[in-house]
Structure 1
Amino acid sequence: MNGTFDKIIYINEKLKLIGVFIGGLAAVFMMLIIVADVFMRNIFTSPISGTYEIVQYFLMPLAIFPALAYTYSSGVLPRLGELVEKAPNGFKKVSTWIIIIIEITIFTLLTIYGWKFAMAGVGDQMAIAVGGKLTPVYPVYFLIPIGFGLIVIEVLLSAIKPLIKNKSTT
């Protein structure tokens, strides 16, 4: 079982790195398109049409949601567990599991409702006007449940990891 769990962790790590790569590319492209738009606006007095919409509806979600699991696992985001670090050991054990259950519940709900939002976007064929043409935006909505779903997996794996290590040491 330990080998299977290690494979799952390996795949999860790769998924997180892919998310970081996608987010990084989106951030770089966002910077480039904004610089090009400012250049065109100031030099040729003709901005690139749809820049604002492309950045807002496509590049920002691409920069944020795929990298959520990596951000969560790296410890950059504040966690509920930091509240009980100075508590007695007995309270720490109980509160750690309570916090894990709360995190799993919250991120699972965010995943479920993000999926419902994405499916509603598909049903309504949500689109925005970019440069005078309607561009479908609903595919980007799927980044929301994917990002939060990867956090659920991260929380589950971080909760299971100590249990498996305790079994292998005994």
Structure 2
Amino acid sequence: MGKFKQVFNWLEYVFLMGSKFGLFAMMLLVSGDAIGRYFFGKPIVGTYEIVEMYLMVVTIFLSMSYVMKIGGHIRLDVVFDKLPKTLQKRLNFFYYFLTAIWMSFIGYYGFQTTHEAWVENLTESGVVSFPMWLSYIWVPIGAFLLCIRLLIMCVNTLGPKSELKGE
């Protein structure tokens, strides 16, 4: 399992860098669009579509697994922390496993949607026509990454030194 986790951590990091690139590109596009619109009267054509349909999806879905790994998602620990440690471990296992199943469904249906958009050559009908599969592909990638991270966390909760984070 050690080599698998090492490879997965590297893959997760690569996709996190993709998420950061998407956020940086979003910042450049929106800033450039605002500068072009207000100072030169010429906005960047298609900025809204690129940001909304592509870069936001990339930024959110490619970072979900890493955020789970570092324990960055919102948790409500008011009651949970008062429970016995063994019950906490069991509940974490149960929640991680159910969430992994849920994310596998999202990934599966996201993959089907992506494949359908690819085969049918669906495009965004806006100012500029963009292929829709490039927007959809990030959903199954992010969902499957999170699913694997959650399964790793399930295994970690069974160990003697279990923690809430993904390592």
* TM-score (structure 1 length as normaliser): 0.82
Report if aligned partners of 2:100, 2:151 keep a CA contact under 8 Å in 1.
yes
1:33 Cα deviation (Å)? 1.1
Distance 1:93 1:9 in 2: 21
CA contact (8 A) 2:89 2:157 kept: no
Q: Superposition pairs for residues 84-123 of structure 1, below 5 Å?
A: 84-123=80-119
2:139 maps to 144
The equivalent of 2:34 in structure 1 is 38
Aligned position for 1:11: 7
Query: 1:91-131 CA deviation, whole Å, 9 max, x = no partner?
Result: 33432332232122211121122222222322332212464
Match of 1:156 among 145, 151, 154: 151
Deviations 1:54-83 (A, max 9, x none): 111121112121111101111111358885
Greater per-residue strand proportion: 1
What is the CA–CA distance in structure 2 between the aligned matches of 1:8 and 1:81, rounded to whole Å? 31
Say if 1:80 and 1:99, in contact at 8 Å, map to a contact too.
Answer: no
In the superposition, the TM-score normalised over structure 2's length comes to: 0.83
Higher Cα radius of gyration: 1
Where does structure 1 lack aligned partners over 5 or more consecutive residues? none
Q: Distance between the aligned counterparts of 2:27 and 2:79, measured in 1? A: 37
More helix by share: 1
Check if 1:48 corresponds to 2:36.
no
Aligned pair 1:25/2:21, yes or no?
yes
How much has 1:140 moved relative to structure 2? 2.6
Partner of 1:68: 64
Structure 1 runs, 4 residues or longer, greater than 6 Å off: none
Number of residues of Structure 1 aligned to a counterpart in Structure 2 = 161
Identity of aligned residues (%): 24
